[in-house]
Amino acid sequence: MTETAEGIPFELSGLGMSAARFAAQFAHDPAYVERPWGDGSASPLYVPVLERENDVLAAEVDDRLIVWAEECGFDEDERELMRKAQFGRLVTLAHVDTDDLDHLLIAAEMNAAWWAADDLYADDSEMGAIPTELPPRLALAMAAMDPVAPAGEFSVQLEDALRAEKVLVALRSGTDHMSRLGTPTQVQRVCYSTFAMFVSWNAYAAWRHTGTYPPAWKYLATRQHDTFYTSMTLIDIVGGYELPAHLYYDPRVRRALMQAGTASVMVNDLHSVAKDAADEKPVCNMVLQIAADRDCSIPEATEVTVELHNDLVRGFEASHRSLQPVPSLELQRFLRGTRAWMGGGFEWHATNPRYRS
């Protein structure tokens, strides 16, 4: 097998291989299934099958997460909301190749910290999200995750600020935990994926502040850097191995991961329509943007979003299949982990009170 400079092999050619690829294109992969969602009135979502459900393990991760949240400074009501969000269940459903509590807790902490920043800083007006305050808040969030160089007396003031705000404490604590079990390369991968996500959050804030909401295509272009791809960057850290950077950042692998992350965040948009529309400053949402663009009903826009989601999942399925000849155990494990994350993420959304209220 001949490899490119990036380490991804050229596909084998010939009549036999072409016939095999043609047959595979139309074969049903038992790793995927169509599942009803919401109230069942919309078309089903094409998702990977759920690979693991372990309520005992999920409860233990959640118990440890709540202890961590108290240490970060979240009050009793906030900790109760965090428990109801069931981040321990999310990571147990999504990260199926380990049952190590310490590794699963990394994912629970980081996802809880990201959600806290999203709710308190970016999305929920009732919880204190103010569009004009978001950019400077996120600047400090980046400093919490990726320490800046020492700057004498100015570092003292920065440190005071980082210790005074619970979201910043949570982001720093989660990153520190991740740093103990992951490599520097993995940690920076997570940091810079997060910072790209923050750029998208700032775009949303500008749209909400001005009241000039984007067309669906522009929202989707922005949303693709604010997806569950960020959560998926943790897959190998939680699994206890490392996907080498030259494979992780190969364009074909990155395309697959972006397909997976964007599909998974469309699940979030579909489940969040009512909540997002009800905010006094409505949150950008693919369904809402399509409805506004086309002057159509929410059910009609929902069907368009479902079709987009299903196309993205099938795109990931095809990308995954095309990468299976690559002789890297780490890559194959990461791609299987990504598929499992998609199935677990759907299950979490479909059964979570946050999205059923």
Q: How far apart are CA 246 and CA 7, in angstroms?
A: 7
Q: How far apart are CA 67 and CA 79, in angstroms?
A: 9
Cβ(328)–Cβ(247) below 8 Å:
yes
Cβ(162)–Cβ(143) below 8 Å:
yes
Output the DSSP codes for 20-89: HHHHHHHSPPTTEEEE--TTS-SPPEEEEPP----HHHHHHHHHHHHHHHHHHT--HHHHHHHHHHTHHH
**Which of 91, 88, 65 is closest to 231 using CA atoms?**
91
**Which of 191, 172, 197 is closest to 262 using CA atoms?**
197
**Which of 322, 337, 320 is closest to 231 using CA atoms?**
337
Cβ(243)–Cβ(334) below 8 Å:
yes
Query: Tell me, what's the pLDDT at 14?
Result: 40
**Which of 227, 219, 198 is closest to 304 using CA atoms?**
219
301 burial level (CB within 10 Å; 0-12, 13-18, 19+): buried
**Which of 103, 104, 175 is closest to 145 using CA atoms?**
175
Print pLDDT tens along the chain (357 aa).
444 434 555 443 343 434 444 444 546 789 999 999 999 999 999 999 999 999 999 999 999 999 999 999 999 999 999 999 999 999 999 999 999 999 999 999 999 999 999 988 887 767 777 888 899 999 999 999 999 999 999 999 999 999 999 999 999 999 999 999 999 999 999 999 999 999 999 999 999 889 899 999 999 999 999 999 999 999 999 999 999 999 999 999 999 999 999 999 999 999 999 887 887 777 889 999 999 999 999 999 999 999 999 999 999 999 999 999 999 999 999 999 999 999 999 999 999 887 765
The first and second tokens of residue 273, run together, are 């329509």
Cβ(170)–Cβ(109) below 8 Å:
yes
Measured between alpha carbons, how far is residue 355 from residues 62, 202, 274 in Å?
A: 18, 24, 9
Q: Which domains are assigned to the chain?
A: 31-355 (1.10.600.10)
How many CA atoms lie within 13 Å of 185's alpha carbon, on the beta-carbon side? 10
Query: Tell me, what's the pLDDT at 20?
Result: 41
Q: How far apart are CA 68 and CA 98, in angstroms?
A: 21
Backbone angles phi, psi at 46, to 5 degrees: -90, 115
Rounded (10°) angle between helices 216-223 and 184-210: 150
